[in-house]
Amino acid sequence: MFAHPPLRSPSSITILGAGLMGRLLAVALARAGHRVEVHDAGGPDGANSAAFVAAAMLAPLAESIVAEPGVVRMGAYALARWPELLGQLVQPVYFQRNGTLIVWHRQDAPEAVRLRQKFEQAQHAVSQLPHMQALDGAALAAHEPALAGRFSQGLYLPGEGQLDNRQLLAALAATMDALGVATHWHSTRSLGDFAPGNAGQPDWLLDCRGTGAHEAWPQVRGVRGEVVRLHAPDVALARPTRLVHPRYSIYLAPKENHHFVIGATEIESSDRSPASVRSTLELLSAAYAVHPGFAEARITELTTQCRPTLPDNLPAVRCVRERVLEVNGLYRHGFMIAPAMLDAVMQLLNEGQSPLATDFELALHGGAATCA
């Protein structure tokens, strides 16, 4: 339990880091009547953040093969919460819930069987998840006409969704401005620059810097990902599609106007140098294997970024000194779990405890001695 007096309105709150979590918290706190100030090392487009590169898929069942049940519950909770949050923004954000499609080639059928078993186990562990549907060739073609005749079977995970990450970052920035949040772009600040609770200082300090918080939270590491963005006018997919692969499940996330985000790589490294030839070939080959129309697509971006990750690959909140709260470790599930993290943190700030955090098995480090 983080025991402290409830936030008075208005309190003054400074947030370090304006990636996904920093922006969501800034908007929520400003809407609640608090005076919010944000510092970020990058600009308003968020181009230096992991959120700028992500595919922004909202797929708790699909991710259940690599995620703990608490994270999967966060994802199921967030699917219903995202439309509410998006409806509060001053700009529209592309959002859809057409489910996730999983396909495979004949040689990868044994791996597909293993995946199906894992999905069934997840559904037993997390009752909120919808039940997957096994598809034969005809049913697959009915769900995704563009893939008719290309795959003889697949799995459909209903209710899962996605949004446009860059539209969301822009809409959050615009909403912060509209709410009077004081934003300081290209402003690199650290925890030591502030003394919350003292005269002339904020009442609370929230650290949402992701990998940028490594000096304050040394256990935070980067996990490298490589993503290709394509413009493919000859391809029309209605939902994110994952191709079973011998080493990892490659995803193709369709955005508006025939733009696609292709990714899957996960490398234990904080290296942000350009993408490797091997990864690029695998991602592009997978796209072509799903639909030949990708052969004439144009590569609009080939990007790398590092996801902020803690040793157990799980998110956590900690309070290591008075009125300083750190939120980190969203790993590869940032967009999928961000609304759940937001609501849990808001409960902690407002009440000193969070039933949601308990439900989500969210790690809370610290206590009354440090957070009061």
Q: Are 184 and 43 in contact (CB under 8 A)?
A: no
Antiparallel, parallel or unpaired: β 363-365 and 324-328: unpaired
> What residues have CB less than 8 Å from 354, skipping those under 6 apart?
344, 345, 347, 348, 362, 364
Rg (CA), the chain: 21
pLDDT bucket at 372, cuts 50 / 70 / 90: low
Q: What is the pLDDT of residue 2?
A: 57
- Mean pLDDT value across residues 330-338: 97
How many whole angstroms separate alpha carbon 348 and alpha carbon 6? 9
Domains and CATH numbers, the chain: 12-52+165-219+311-371 (3.50.50.60), 95-164+221-308 (3.30.9.10)
- Mean pLDDT value across residues 18-46: 97
User: Could you tell me the CA-to-CA distances from 371 to 9, 322, 354, 364 in Å, in that order?
Assistant: 18, 5, 14, 12
Tens digits of residue pLDDT in 107-124: 999 999 999 999 999 988
Tens digits of residue pLDDT in 42-72: 999 999 999 999 999 999 999 998 899 999 9
pLDDT bucket at 369, cuts 50 / 70 / 90: very low
State yes or no: pLDDT of 243 exceeds 50.
Answer: yes
Q: What is the pLDDT of residue 9?
A: 76
State yes or no: pLDDT of 368 exceeds 60.
Answer: no
| Percentage of the chain lying above the pLDDT 90 cut | 85
Antiparallel, parallel or unpaired: β 182-185 and 161-163: unpaired
As a whole number, the mean pLDDT across the chain is 93
- Mean pLDDT value across residues 238-267: 90
- Mean pLDDT value across residues 348-354: 92
Tokens of 51: 């959120």
pLDDT bucket at 8, cuts 50 / 70 / 90: confident
343-349 contacts, C-beta under 8 A, 24 or more apart: 343/77, 343/81, 344/317, 345/25, 345/206, 345/317, 346/25, 346/28, 346/29, 346/32, 348/2, 348/317, 349/7, 349/29, 349/204, 349/325
Q: What is the pLDDT of residue 252?
A: 97
Q: What is the pLDDT of residue 366?
A: 81
Tens digits of residue pLDDT in 162-205: 999 999 999 999 999 999 999 999 999 999 999 999 999 999 99
| Percentage of the chain lying above the pLDDT 70 cut | 97
DSSP secondary structure code for residue 146 in this structure = G
Q: What is the pLDDT of residue 320?
A: 87
Least confident of 12-21, 54-63, 267-276, 295-304: 267-276
State yes or no: pLDDT of 291 exceeds 70.
Answer: yes
How many whole angstroms separate alpha carbon 346 and alpha carbon 323? 14
Least confident of 126-135, 136-145, 327-336, 362-371: 362-371
